[in-house]
Structure 1
């Protein structure tokens, strides 16, 4: 199993951060590897998004996802439903003060088939994805 996580403090309320993250179209504002994203259907559990992003080796790949858990304002979990890899991820939001919260972003992936032979490259990609959470405070400042 490949696992990676990163956290950041955001000078906004947990409710604001949850709403920003739940709207997947905001991904382009804080995840540099996302080329395009479109809301397909739904809100909360079952919401679906189509996205294109830079994958291992710099290739553009489809990485559509669906929200599987939505507990506002503390937990948002998703699973990738299209693309060569099918990771699961989560955002856990913890209030620090009335004007600040901490966001923990985790991704887990069980490599399948040929992906097992490029594990190092996939680990680096997953680590880069979760590290992008460091861009969230700046993205929300401009939102």
Structure 2
């Protein structure tokens, strides 16, 4: 099992942060690797919402990274699972009040199987970059 996580404090309420994160279409503003994203099924903010995304992959190719929201517990927790692409990680955004702002932790877990196990180093780097994008989220929400 591969795991990575990052935490930031954002000068916005937990409700503001949650509402921004639960709408996957906002990912384009703070996650670098997204080439396109669209709501494919369900309702924004609800369990079962599915997003079709194309991500920047190795060698400049696009790879699918569609995901489904599995937990939507406003304003504390959002969980999702990737349902398309070469790897199917699960992710969690945990949000809590921290003074007048919010403490946000983004965690990713993945279990590479088959040939994907040979790419564990690349997968670790990608996961670290993805959770590290919380720094950009902080900039976007505080500007």
Give TM class, smaller chain. over 0.9
Alignment of 1:45-84 (within 5 A): 45-84=47-86
What TM-score, normalized to structure 1?
0.94
Residue 39 of structure 1 is matched in structure 2 by 39
Contact 1:39 1:49 in 2 (8 A): yes
The C-alpha deviation readout for 1:12-68, integer Å capped at 9, x for no partner, is 000000000000000010001111110112231101101111134543211000000
Q: Which moved more, 1:60-69 or 1:35-44?
A: 35-44
What TM-score, normalized to structure 2?
0.94
**Structure 1 stretches of 5 or more lacking a match?**
none
| 3-state DSSP of counterpart to 2:38 | strand
Contact 2:10 2:142 in 1 (8 A): no
Matches of 1:46 and 1:55 in 2, distance apart? 26
Contact 1:15 1:72 in 2 (8 A): yes
| 3-state DSSP of counterpart to 2:133 | helix
Residue 22 of structure 1 is matched in structure 2 by 22
